Structure 1
Amino acid sequence: MKKNLFYLMFGLLLPASSMAQSEVSRFLSSGASDMEKLTEAYLEPFGKGFGTAMNAGWYNTGKAHQVFGFDVTISTTLAMVPSQDESFDLDNYTWNFLLPGVDSESPTIAGSGDGASVGIDMGGGNRISNLYDLPSGTGFAMVPLPMMQVGVGVFKGTDLSFRFFPEMDFGDFGKIGMFGFGLRHDFKQWIPGFNKLPFDMSAQFGWSRLSGTYNKVAYYPTDYIDAPFEVVDPFLPTTEEGIANDYYRTQDLTLTSSAWNTNLIISKKLAVLTGYVSIGYAASSFNIALNGTYLLPDYVLATDPAYNSDDDENGDGIITVLDESNEMTDPIDATIKHSSVNTSVGLRLKLSLLTLHAAYIYQDYSMYNVGLGVSFN
């Protein structure tokens, strides 16, 4: 499987990027019991970073539009992955059968370097060491996200906002799309005396959802596992065409992320410049689902009465099995959740109808947001 499998968004949103190929499919080689935990550990910074970026760029001033005033803005957010999330330690997790190697630290998708070697531990001293290597990192410790947003004043001191990344169909590769809505209200106007103070202040809420599908998944265990299989079902497809027909045509990956945030915004305009600050709370949920039919490897003790002792060809006490009974449908359904209090500071330049803005949002996954737009009233 290619490294852009789980970095689908980068490949589509930044076509010029040269993301290396991914081996995330190897998680399936751990068997059904540990693969979701591995997926979450490796992809955690991508899930958190993407959900975080979806919550940025909702505003660049605390002043609401007049009725039927509007703005159209194109912006890009860059979420920065903290250094502590560029790797994970296998020894910090409880595994059912996974056996960490001598070096238990491995890069996440945002880290760099080669992945750690892992094996299988069946208990009682029966184990396979160095069964396969975890995926390497990309060396790309940031998550970019562009989007377009439209805001309109609907009634006294209240704006409605709509953001979207139009669904794009990439033929055999898949599709991706995003939409969201927000609300901003100038509540300062309702506080006697306070409404005379020389700055703008409003409360904001936003929600957005992104979904993508990647159709070029291609997993078959003999392509990924270093140890030879000792028992193979003779009825399984072995030719490239047979594998494609029986497995690859049903396999795809879906990525779904939803995010919401709320903020208190204060801004002050001086001539063509508006400075703004905010404090808020944001949360997101990022789901990775591997769909279709997959042939998962199985590891059984040589003492299992269903097999002959001669099947343990290398004498390690474990028989590696590739059998039709080990087919699994929709094997991975992992969810990465994240929430954080944040503060931000930004500056907007308005020349006639044209606006330019830049902001820094401070939190555990800090962000930079820049944008260009037009704004009327």
Structure 2
Amino acid sequence: MKKILFLMATAVSSLGIAQANLDDLFAAGIDDAQRFTNDYLAPVSESVVYSISNGWYNSAKAKPLGGFEISIIGNITGFKNKDDKTSFVLNTAEYENLQFVDGETSKSVSTALGDIEGVRAFVEVEVAPGVTERQEFELPTGLLAEGLNFMPSGYLQGSVGLIKGLEVKARFLPKIDTDDVKIGLFGAGLQYDFTSSLPADKLLPVAISGVIGYTSLTGEYDFTDAGLFDGDRQIIDTKFSSWTFNAVASTRLPVINFYGGLGYVTGKSTTDVLGDYTVGVGPLSTTETDPFSISRNVSGVTANVGTKLKLGFFRLNVDYTLAEFNTLTAGINFGFR
């Protein structure tokens, strides 16, 4: 349950490895462990970057000076039918020591989003000079194996109008800090309503604006006490960041409005495996410190459409974004003007 809750909160699927034979992957060698981890986590990096890039706007009309809105925003980023994101082809020719038990040299295995079970691999571990021992293990599965086919994210967001046509935004997730898990999110954005500078602004049926937003999500999992390795300060530290640039249009009706936008998302994820890890058997064991770090860049075009209901100071909005990973976003908003 702890793994599922942490994945839902931070999307740091490194836990799938940390709790599923990370010691065996290290036994294959640092280079093999790093290569596998990179391919295993790649789709998670993409889905998280796209997920946290949503929710920056629910209208193209900027708030007037002093107008404000406080929002609770939730995103559900799905991957149920994305076979190319839930598995990858592992070719043992690209690995130094990792081999499949059944003798095959290439096959599809699960990513951190997937559900391919029962794939067994092995490495030959030297336990003494000239003496090797075969070590077999099962490769980890992912979120689909836990019954999850989406990646959730959520945060609080505030917006306030400044000079005519300009609105500033900020978002954050109240920090979660337990004995072994730390999570934090923050972001900032700007929206400029181009139609506000036109002479016939109030007569136009639509508003058009540009929106820029930056979001950072960090997650840390300390599994020192899990007893997987001899060593100290064993931590998986993951950081996600995203920039989004959007052109937005919306209607200007008093109660129910419709909005949509075209955008571009660019972001990056970095996962560091930190601490001291004693791997190997007997006199040939070695201690690795901060064994590896992996990073991935993500970018792509997005398009969304949504609707907003305004009832006095209370507002609701929902929209759907088409991208490499599609996302459903819903917001509960409280505002003035």
TM-score by length of 1: 0.76
What is the rounded CA distance, in whole Å, between the counterparts of 1:27 and 1:180 in structure 2? 35
* AA of the residue aligned to 2:273: L
The CA distance in 2 between the partners of 1:198 and 1:366, in whole Å, is 29
Structure 1 segments (4+ residues) deviating >6 Å: 127-130, 192-195
Structure (1/2) with the larger strand percentage:
2
Residue 204 of structure 1 pairs with residue 219 of structure 2: no
Unaligned runs of 5+ in 1: 14-18, 222-242, 298-320
Quickly say closer, same or farther: Cα 1:322–1:90, change in 2 above 3 A: farther
1:158 pairs, out of 151, 166, 170, with 166
Answer yes or no: is 1:340 the counterpart of 2:308. no
**Residue 21 and residue 40 in structure 1: after superposition, are their counterparts in 2 closer, same or farther (change >3 A)?**
closer
Partner of 1:282: 265
Highest Rg: 1 or 2?
A: 1
Query: Aligned residue pairs: how many?
Result: 318
After TM superposition, give the deviation of residue 106 of structure 1 in Å. Answer: 1.0
Tell me, yes or no, if the aligned pair for 1:90 and 1:100 is still in contact at 8 Å.
no
- Given that residues 274 and 348 in structure 1 are in contact (C-alpha distance below 8 angstroms), is that contact kept between their aligned partners in structure 2? yes
Matched, 1:107 2:105: no
From 123, 132, 138, the equivalent of 2:137 is 132
Q: Using the alignment, how far apart are the partners of 1:355 and 1:60 within structure 2? A: 10
Does the CA-based 8 Å contact 2:270-2:293 persist in structure 1? yes
| 1:90 counterpart SS class | strand
- How far apart are the structure 2 equivalents of 1:174 and 1:50? 18
User: What is the alpha-carbon distance in structure 1 between the residues aligned to residue 165 and residue 20 of structure 2?
Assistant: 51
How far apart are 1:95 and its partner, in Å? 2.2
SS at match of 2:252: strand
Further displaced range: 184-193 or 359-368: 184-193
What is aligned with 1:86? 86
Q: Does the CA contact (< 8 Å) of 1:257 and 1:284 recur in 2?
A: yes
- Equivalent positions of 1:108-257 (< 5 A) are 108-114=111-117, 116-120=119-123, 131-139=136-144, 140-170=148-178, 172-190=179-197, 197-217=204-224, 218=226, 220=228, 243=230, 247=231, 249-257=232-240
Aligned match of 2:129: none
Alignment RMSD: 2.9
Counterpart CA distance in 2 for 1:49 and 1:207 is: 16
- How far apart in 2 are the matches of 1:280 and 1:360? 13
One-letter amino acid of the counterpart of residue 166, structure 1? P
The letter for the 2-side match of 1:277 is: G
TM-fit CA distance, 1:327: 0.8
Q: 8 Å contact 2:45–2:269 — kept in the other structure?
A: yes
Match of 1:56 in 2: 54
Query: Is residue 115–residue 137 contact of structure 1 (8 Å, CA) maintained in 2?
Result: no
**Per the alignment, in what secondary structure is the counterpart of residue 251 of structure 1?**
strand
**2:20 aligned residue (4, 20, 23):** 23
Q: 1:283 to 1:27 in 2, by over 3 A?
A: farther
Partner secondary structure for residue 179 of structure 1: strand
- CA displacement at 1:191 relative to structure 2: 5.7
Structure 2 length normalisation: TM-score?
0.85
